[in-house]
Amino acid sequence: MVEINQNAFTPQSTPLHYEVEEQSLVPKTTNDEECEDALYIGPSFVAVIDGATSKTERRWDGQTGGRIAALTLKEAFDHIPPDATAREAIDILTTAIKELYEHYQVLDIMRDDPVQRATACVVVVSFFRKEVWFVGDCQCLLNQKLLLNKKKIDTITANARSMFLETEIAKGKAVEELRQNDTGRAFILPLLERQMLFQNNPAAGQYWFSIIDGFAVSDEGIYVQSLPTDIQTIVLASDGYPYLKETLEASEACLQEVLDDDPLLFQKHKATKGVSKGNISFDDRAYIKLNILPLPASSASHQSTAIVEPGKSTSISQGVEITASGCLSSVRDYDTMAPQLDIDELDWHKIVTTPHVQHGLRNRAAEARRQAIAGEFEEGGFVIE
């Protein structure tokens, strides 16, 4: 793994608290059901998932490879232990895609033909480990410091498309005509298909790149960045934003400027695709901004928890307190909550004094989460993992 360490992780570290200041998920087509990006917001992790645009006609029950990959990974995050390392988490996500192939009985086909795979990039914040993890070309701002994980091969193909489109313009074609029939995209499509031979394959040489595709991601393909000790804000986004800014409004404004000036994205901001006729952007886009909260005084005696008041949703932006591990609140809540969950005092004590839920209690925790979200408890707070 590529690791940039700015602080030392210890198992006794208190996980960070956070709130969501703003978030957005916008499909390039205006149809939410076609969006290949996804957001995961949980107590232990927040992630942007960028499903890769499919290069084939293969569909998974009507969904593109990018769409099914994003949805599969979003669900898989619920199964990652709060204290997981980047290596462990990426392996769990990879296994989720592999199991998708097994479900559709296409594992051998996917192994032999990488262009058919359902693939996605991710950028993840681990609040327990105080790290940001990258696989692929998502982006991040840490206290306004931009982190990019660009692929060298994308720069090459974007420049090749740009050059081809410039020749089309020189021959008299109009931008609007090329938006309807992007001959530049068609020109580089063979390269886009061939580049799949490089994915997750360090032995392939200088153009290899990492992506989550159901097959092993090498250590070199996982970029780990420790959070600064003075971290206050974190912004995660997919590459649907050409210029990532510290507010959603500013990021959207920069995107709109690019789309107005260069809708084919071959001059001002070179990309492997432009804005197709009828679409509102060149790519789906996901954005989420987090504010890191001061640790409460009680954090020294209890590892962090996530409290959901009855009848309220788990959207952090609506005031739910998220603190990043554990399953239930505190020992004093035992008499109120434990009987409803069929959890004895010993198990309760284990839950509130360890960094994460014991493996044998996960099913009960999941049911507790469902009940809390549904507002099924009449009084008292409830804590979810």
- Segment 98-135, tens digit of pLDDT: 999 999 999 999 999 999 999 999 999 999 999 999 99
- List, in sequence order, every residue forming a beta bridge with 287; answer none if it has no partner: 24, 237
Q: How far is CA 199 from CA 113, 121, 149, 161, in A?
A: 12, 12, 15, 21
User: Going by DSSP bridges, is the β-strand pair 233-237/285-293 parallel, antiparallel, or unpaired?
Assistant: antiparallel
Please give the helix or strand (H or E) that residue 102 lies within, else none: helix 86-103
> What is the four-CA torsion angle of 268, 270, 274, 280, rounded to 10 degrees?
-50
Please tell me the distance from the alpha carbon of residue 269 to that of residue 281, in angstroms, as a whole number.
Answer: 13
Q: Write the single-letter amino acid at 42.
A: G
- Taking the model in full, what pTM does it have? 0.76
Taking the C-alpha atoms of residue 259 and residue 275, their distance in angstroms, rounded to an integer, is 8
Q: Hey, is 351 helix, strand or coil?
A: helix
Q: Are 70 and 54 in contact (CB under 8 A)?
A: no
Q: What is the pLDDT of residue 4?
A: 64
Task: Say which amino acid occupies 210.
Answer: S
pLDDT score, position 310 = 36
Over the stretch 222-273, which tens digit does the pLDDT of each residue have?
A: 999 999 999 999 999 999 999 999 999 999 999 999 999 999 999 989 999 9
Q: How is the chain split into domains, by residue range?
A: 2-152+194-293, 302-383
| 2-152+194-293: CATH number | 3.60.40.10
Q: What angle do CA 381, 384, 385 make, to 5 degrees?
A: 155
Could you write out the DSSP letters of every residue in 149-190? Answer: ---HHHHHHHHHHHHHHHHHHHTT--HHHHHHS-HHHHHHHH
Among candidate residues 128, 122, 195, the one with its CA nearest the CA of residue 155 = 195
Instruction: Give me the residues of the chain with pLDDT under 70, please.
Output: 3-12, 296-385
